[in-house]
């Protein structure tokens, strides 16, 4: 059953802005090699841009939330000025069950859960959130945690799950694992509602699980991302929880506790439970890390620096804000993102924290992947525009930060365009960290079509050097990655 079934959708779904315009699902899995191009695709870079995002394959049973859709990967392969596009659903267990039944079986975020069901277990692991590349496979992940699906990078066929070791079975592995491109190691975390509430692990370059330890938290939490340095991993415990009573009743009700600190676990990459060190910081909540690295300060002490885009929580939080609304509504109600820095001093155990930028409203930070875990100079973010509805943050443009000079450059083409997270694609034989391109899907709402935009990362303000018109919409989505050509299997 395809999405033609949406024609028969009840009016309350037709009116749902999460199923319209650039959010509207598509029902074709395409392979395309010929395109109309505005400008010229640069011939001095090769590799693959892959982005994940929600695309419901069956008509939702009730109210539909943007986060509910089945994971679909969209891959754009560049080879010396040539380009191909392919899209395919991640063939999750849940999607296979839906296909067998001919309908959507699991409830969505806005629907009432079955009696006695735990929220994590009742929802479908759609694998719609994040994608990374490791050991010759794309790894597709879900923000609520679950099995990680392995996908062939060329065919986008789902070929298995990341269960190289039986110890991983049943772990709710989160979106936002991190790959150290220099060692080939894959660092991940899992979280859930059951004690010890978090796990941390490392899969080595050839796919073996090398490290897996429990990370005990005071209770169930909602971590979304982690950070790595060359020698450490940093896990997050922010004071945002589900109301325990609501959780028992099978639903989520978010609570922010300003009286608690943010806590960060610093763990040697292959460390044991007794090597976990906790650092405290001001109460905040953050979805995404930009990067982290180790640095020696003036006193000769090692500090771990972590940069990210937390929410600028009100200083005097009195509980009156609707936290759920806060998390979805960016650029309204004075609730915005900051670009922020924490420094964890391994000698003193102290944390220093500071704002990098509270002027621009940015999120979805990306870097040159080779610098993941190592000191870098440039970060590339989505510039957030004013949200159209509570659930629809508007990805209005791109921003590039220079951490050395403290400057930022932005590009925003005007009303009607909607960006995706744009990873950095290095030029062949790069001469500098930012010697390459930012590549991303852009929904052109003026002409109602999706395009791939290629922007010279050293000349962001000039806008795209090439705009490639796609024959089918790429519905708005979430996270992406860049895969270097040398790492891809040969076709
Ligand atoms: Fe995310």
- pLDDT category at 361 given cuts 50, 70, 90 is confident
**pLDDT tens across 302-353, in order?**
999 999 999 876 555 555 555 555 555 544 444 567 899 999 999 999 999 9
- pLDDT category at 68 given cuts 50, 70, 90 is very high
Task: Quote the pLDDT of residue 11.
Answer: 43
Q: How far is the CA of 139 from the centre of ligand 1 (A)?
A: 14
When the pLDDT of each residue in the chain is averaged and rounded to a whole number, the result is 89
Task: Quote the pLDDT of residue 326.
Answer: 58
Q: Is 325 left (phi over 0), alpha (psi -120 to 50) or beta?
A: alpha
- pLDDT category at 18 given cuts 50, 70, 90 is confident
18, 370, 436 from 50: Cα distances, Å:
22, 17, 17
Q: What is the DSSP string of 364-402?
A: EEE--GGGTTS--SEEEEEEEE--SSTT--EEEEEEEEE
Residue 2: pLDDT over 70: no
Residue 294: pLDDT over 80: yes
Task: Give CA angle at 407 (403, 412), nearest 5°.
Answer: 115
Q: How far is the CA of 363 from the centre of ligand 1 (A)?
A: 10
Mean pLDDT of all residues in 261-276: 98
For strands 464-469 and 449-456, give the pairing: antiparallel
Q: How far is the CA of 15 from the centre of ligand 1 (A)?
A: 27
Q: Which DSSP letter does residue 24 get?
A: -
**pLDDT tens across 79-122, in order?**
999 999 999 999 999 999 999 999 998 888 877 776 666 656 67
Q: Which residue from 242, 251, 254 is spatially nearest to 108, judged by alpha carbons?
A: 251
Q: How far is the CA of 364 from the centre of ligand 1 (A)?
A: 8
Q: How far is the CA of 207 from the centre of ligand 1 (A)?
A: 24
Q: How far is the CA of 448 from the centre of ligand 1 (A)?
A: 26
3-state secondary structure of 120: helix
**Start-end of H helices in 298-363:** 323-328
Mean pLDDT of all residues in 356-379: 95
What is the token pair recorded at 77?
A: 């392969």
Mean pLDDT of all residues in 246-260: 80
Q: How far apart are CA 41 and CA 433, in angstroms?
A: 21
What is the token pair recorded at 427?
A: 């030029």
Residue 1: pLDDT over 50: no
Calculate what percentage of the chain has a pLDDT beyond 90: 72
Residue labelled with tokens 């639903």: 251
Q: How far is the CA of 333 from the centre of ligand 1 (A)?
A: 22
Q: Which DSSP letter does residue 427 get?
A: P
List, in sequence order, every residue forming a beta bridge with 83; answer none if it has no partner.
Answer: 78
Q: How far is the CA of 122 from the centre of ligand 1 (A)?
A: 21
**pLDDT tens across 119-175, in order?**
566 789 999 999 999 999 999 999 999 999 999 999 999 999 987 678 888 899 999
Q: How far is the CA of 342 from the centre of ligand 1 (A)?
A: 19
- pLDDT category at 15 given cuts 50, 70, 90 is low
Mean pLDDT of all residues in 48-65: 91
Residue 489: pLDDT over 80: yes
Task: Quote the pLDDT of residue 333.
Answer: 47
Mean pLDDT of all residues in 480-486: 97
16, 55, 61, 107 from 64: Cα distances, Å:
8, 11, 8, 9
Task: Quote the pLDDT of residue 243.
Answer: 85
Q: How far is the CA of 399 from the centre of ligand 1 (A)?
A: 18
Mean pLDDT of all residues in 30-37: 97
Give the up-direction half-sphere exposure of residue 266: CA atoms within 13 A in the CB hemisphere. 25
**pLDDT tens across 399-449, in order?**
999 999 999 999 999 888 999 999 999 999 999 999 999 999 999 999 999
Residue 7: pLDDT over 50: no
Q: Which residue from 207, 454, 229, 482 is spatially nearest to 369, judged by alpha carbons?
A: 482
Q: How far is the CA of 176 from the centre of ligand 1 (A)?
A: 7
Task: Quote the pLDDT of residue 315.
Answer: 53
Residue 12: pLDDT over 50: no
Q: How far is the CA of 478 from the centre of ligand 1 (A)?
A: 7
Mean pLDDT of all residues in 261-273: 98
What is the token pair recorded at 384?
A: 């957030």
Task: Quote the pLDDT of residue 186.
Answer: 98
Burial bucket for residue 373 (CB in 10 Å: 0-12, 13-18, 19+): buried
3-state secondary structure of 60: coil
Q: How far apart are CA 49 and CA 440, in angstroms?
A: 8
Dihedral of alpha carbons 156, 181, 192, 324, sign? negative
Least confident of 116-125, 208-217, 285-294, 450-459: 116-125
Q: Which DSSP letter does residue 6 get?
A: G
Q: How far apart are CA 125 and CA 94, in angstroms?
A: 7
Q: How far is the CA of 11 from the centre of ligand 1 (A)?
A: 31
β strands within 162-276, DSSP E = 178-180, 185-191, 198-203, 209-214, 227-228, 232-237, 240-242, 254-256, 262-268
Q: Which residue from 319, 341, 372 is spatially nearest to 264, judged by alpha carbons?
A: 341
- pLDDT category at 384 given cuts 50, 70, 90 is confident
β strands within 90-193, DSSP E = 130-134, 137-141, 149-151, 158-161, 178-180, 185-191
Least confident of 229-233, 295-299, 336-340: 336-340
Q: How far apart are CA 424 and CA 16, in angstroms?
A: 33
Q: How far is the CA of 142 from the centre of ligand 1 (A)?
A: 9
What is the token pair recorded at 358?
A: 């509270």
Q: How far is the CA of 115 from the centre of ligand 1 (A)?
A: 29
Residue 5: pLDDT over 60: no
List, in sequence order, every residue forming a beta bridge with 401; answer none if it has no partner.
Answer: 379, 408
């Amino acid at each position: 059953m395809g999405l033609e079934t949406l024609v028969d959708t009840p009016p309350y779904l037709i009116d749902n802005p999460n199923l319209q315009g650039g959010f509207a699902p598509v029902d074709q899995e395409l392979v395309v090699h010929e395109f109309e191009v505005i400008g010229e695709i640069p011939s001095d870079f090769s590799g693959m841009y892959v982005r994940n995002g929600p695309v419901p394959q069956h008509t939702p049973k009730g109210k539909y939330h943007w986060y509910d859709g089945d994971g679909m990967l969209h891959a754009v392969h560049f080879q010396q000025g040539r380009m191909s596009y392919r899209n395919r659903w991640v063939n999750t267990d849940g999607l296979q069950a839906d296909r067998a039944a001919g309908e959507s079986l699991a409830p969505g975020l806005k629907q009432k859960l079955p009696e006695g069901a735990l929220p994590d277990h009742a929802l479908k692991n759609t694998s719609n959130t994040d994608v990374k590349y490791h050991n010759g496979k794309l790894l597709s992940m879900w923000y609520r945690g679950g099995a990680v699906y392995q996908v062939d990078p060329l065919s986008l066929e789902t070929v298995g799950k990341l269960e190289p070791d039986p110890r991983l079975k049943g772990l709710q592995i989160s979106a936002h694992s991190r790959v150290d491109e220099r060692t080939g190691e894959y660092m991940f975390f899992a979280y859930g509602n059951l004690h010890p509430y978090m796990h941390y692990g490392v899969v080595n370059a050839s796919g073996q699980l090398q490290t897996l330890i429990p990370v005990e938290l005071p209770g169930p939490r909602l971590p979304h991302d982690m950070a790595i340095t060359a020698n450490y991993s940093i896990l997050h415990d922010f004071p945002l929880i589900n109301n325990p009573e609501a959780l028992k009743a099978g639903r989520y009700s978010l609570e922010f506790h300003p009286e608690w600190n943010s806590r960060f676990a610093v763990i040697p990459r292959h460390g044991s439970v007794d090597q976990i060190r906790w650092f405290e910081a001001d109460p905040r909540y953050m979805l995404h890390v930009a990067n982290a690295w180790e640095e020696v300060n003036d006193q000769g002490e090692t500090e771990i620096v972590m940069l990210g885009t937390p929410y600028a929580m009100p200083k005097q939080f009195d509980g009156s804000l609707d936290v759920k609304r806060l998390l979805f509504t960016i650029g309204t109600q004075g609730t915005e993102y900051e670009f922020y820095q924490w420094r964890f001093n391994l000698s003193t155990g102290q944390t220093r924290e500071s704002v990098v930028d509270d002027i621009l409203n940015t999120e979805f930070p990306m870097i040159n992947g080779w610098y993941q875990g190592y000191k870098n100079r440039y970060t590339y973010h989505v510039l957030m525009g004013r949200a159209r509805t509570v659930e629809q943050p508007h990805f209005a443009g791109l921003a590039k930060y220079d951490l050395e000079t403290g400057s930022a450059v932005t590009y925003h083409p005007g009303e009607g365009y909607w960006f995706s997270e744009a990873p950095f694609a290095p030029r062949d034989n790069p001469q500098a960290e930012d010697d390459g391109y930012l590549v991303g899907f852009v929904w052109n709402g003026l002409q109602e079509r999706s395009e791939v935009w290629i922007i010279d990362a050293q000349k962001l303000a000039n806008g795209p050097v090439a705009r490639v018109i796609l024959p089918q919409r790429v519905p708005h989505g979430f996270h992406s990655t860049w895969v270097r050509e040398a790492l891809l299997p040969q076709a």
